[in-house]
Amino acid sequence: MGARTGPGGRDRLRACGVDTRRTVSRAAGWTRGERAGWIEPGERRNRKETGRVSANTGASLADGTRAALGRTVFAPVWLTLGVVALLSLWGLSIPLWVQYVPFLASVLVVGLPHGAVDHLAAARLGGDRPSHPFAAVAALYLLVGSAYLVAWRLAPAASFALFVALTWFHWGQGDLYVLVALPERTHLRSSLGRGLCLLVRGGLPMIVPLLAFPDTYRAVARTVIELFDPGAVAALEPLFSIPARLALGGGLTALSVVALAVGYHGARNGHERDGNRRLDDRRGSGSHGRSDDGGDGETEADVRKRAWRLDAAETVLLWAYFLIVPPILAVGLYFCLWHSLRHVVRVIVLSDDERAAGSEDGTTPAAGAAKKGFVRFAREATPLTAGALVIFAGLYLLAPVTDVSGVLALYLVLLAVLTLPHIIVVSWMDLEQGVWKGRETTGA
């Protein structure tokens, strides 16, 4: 059952935070707006040229969804991480057992479950194409995850290093999606800018704690590796040396500066033809010349600049946060509240039911639809989250542990085994949603 065509159907969907652009006439390759006459036939091409995610991919969020997520999801997380950083800066001593709480809570709350609906995400993105997503995703997890588990048994030090690299990439791609999809016009207008964004955003939680808290980082690495081979941890010792840490810190600092510079260049130097065109000219009459992103008559360049400011502010926040907050607490909170929650949001906006969640008169707020989406996600993620806990029990039989640090180490191995196939699914989602379709120009 499709959404009603015409302004009435579009307005009802927008009221519940739904992006009508995601629904596509697959046979013709048109957006619903093009079919109904709201968008000029060349609009889809123009959006791609101005740095938008392709109109038929669903990666770009509707105005209502964008505003609701900013108020109810992203802003509270920014505030939480900022407060924790300030408390740590003021010298508040946080007991070690408290630092473990976010990681332990992530077993059931957002963290571990965030990848438990990969098969549903694949089905929703697959649309009308015939497929068996559950079987395909299950086979992927079984084969790739099992191979990685064998690697942990044979080469734990190399497997730990690979886990850090995989997490670096995956957490970077999670933030990249948000920075491309959340703003109405992204400042990341080239593949170069998006690649730099991925490297910086993924590197912050992986590298900055190593710079500021090398002893804790080493202790965690040792505890994980010693589950399989107590002598293998020596292979990673060079990474904790001062020269190595200075090189990593200097490299990440340089990448951060370059990434923000490239992003600023992309925000400032918009498309020559329509960089100063007002957004209400592009949205059509249904928007009444106003966006949830800003005031009346904003230009695309204005929105791109604000997107860059968001990117810069988040980058500075994460640098400070990981430099100040003890790493077990810092990474645990980030995993639950930042990375996992953003992926859950990404899955929720793919839901057909959430796209039809508006009331009959179009008054259902986006926040209400988002709440329903989170409830549905929890229900859908429960079965495979339980399955992951069964795997965790099996890992315990392979490497019994007796203290909380050992439990965390075993949990990290479980996350590693699940992360590799999860990355493959998310990378496919990125391709399907056009996350990497930046405009290839020197203008970034």
Q: How large is the average pLDDT for residues 156-183?
A: 95
Please return the burial class of 72, using the count of CB atoms within 10 Å of its CB with bins 0-12, 13-18 and 19+.
Answer: middle
Asked if residue 167 is part of any domain, the answer here is yes
pLDDT value, residue 225: 97
8 A C-beta contact, residue 54 and residue 48:
yes
Question: How, if at all, do strands 24-25 and 30-31 pair?
Answer: antiparallel
Give dist(CA 20, CA 443) in Å, integer.
30
DSSP output for 87-111: HHHTTPPPPHHHHHHHHHHTTTSST
Q: How large is the average pLDDT for residues 97-119?
A: 92
Give dist(CA 221, CA 165) in Å, integer.
14
Asked if residue 134 is part of any domain, the answer here is yes
Give dist(CA 230, CA 189) in Å, integer.
47
The string of pLDDT tens digits covering residues 234-270 is 999 999 999 999 999 999 999 999 999 999 998 887 5
Report the number of distinct structural domains present in the chain: 1
8 A C-beta contact, residue 44 and residue 52:
no
Asked if residue 191 is part of any domain, the answer here is yes
The string of pLDDT tens digits covering residues 331-369 is 999 999 999 999 999 998 887 545 544 444 444 455 566
Asked if residue 53 is part of any domain, the answer here is no
Q: Which of 68, 72, 71 is nearest to 15 (CA)?
A: 68
Q: How large is the average pLDDT for residues 358-384?
A: 71
pLDDT value, residue 70: 72
Beta bridge partners of 421: none
CA angle, 67 then 68 then 74, to 5°: 90
Asked if residue 136 is part of any domain, the answer here is yes
Q: What is the 3-state secondary structure (H, E, C) of 197-263?
A: HHHHHHHHHHHHHHHHCHHHHHHHHHHHHCCCCCCHHHHHHHHHCHHHHHHHHHHHHHHHHHHHHHH
Give dist(CA 37, CA 130) in Å, integer.
30
pLDDT surpasses 80 at 302: yes
Q: What is the number of alpha carbons within 13 Å of residue 71 lying toward its C-beta?
A: 15
Please return the burial class of 269, using the count of CB atoms within 10 Å of its CB with bins 0-12, 13-18 and 19+.
Answer: middle
8 A C-beta contact, residue 336 and residue 102:
yes
8 A C-beta contact, residue 336 and residue 111:
yes
Query: Average model confidence (pLDDT) for the chain?
Result: 79
Asked if residue 36 is part of any domain, the answer here is no
pLDDT value, residue 438: 64
CA angle, 242 then 245 then 246, to 5°: 85
8 A C-beta contact, residue 204 and residue 317:
no
The string of pLDDT tens digits covering residues 186-197 is 899 899 999 999
Q: How large is the average pLDDT for residues 290-307?
A: 68
DSSP state letter for 357: -
Better-predicted residue by pLDDT, 382 or 284: 382
The string of pLDDT tens digits covering residues 270-288 is 544 445 555 555 554 444 4
pLDDT surpasses 60 at 103: yes
Give dist(CA 60, CA 47) in Å, integer.
11
pLDDT band at 402, cuts 50/70/90? confident
Q: What is the number of alpha carbons within 13 Å of residue 220 lying toward its C-beta?
A: 23
φ, ψ of residue 24 to 5 degrees: the values are -125, 140
Give dist(CA 406, CA 149) in Å, integer.
17
Asked if residue 19 is part of any domain, the answer here is no
Asked if residue 28 is part of any domain, the answer here is no
pLDDT value, residue 417: 97
pLDDT surpasses 90 at 291: no
- What is the domain range of residue 85? 59-432
Q: How large is the average pLDDT for residues 54-72?
A: 56
Contacts for 419 with CB less than 8 Å, ≥ 6 apart: 115, 163, 166, 167, 170
pLDDT surpasses 60 at 211: yes
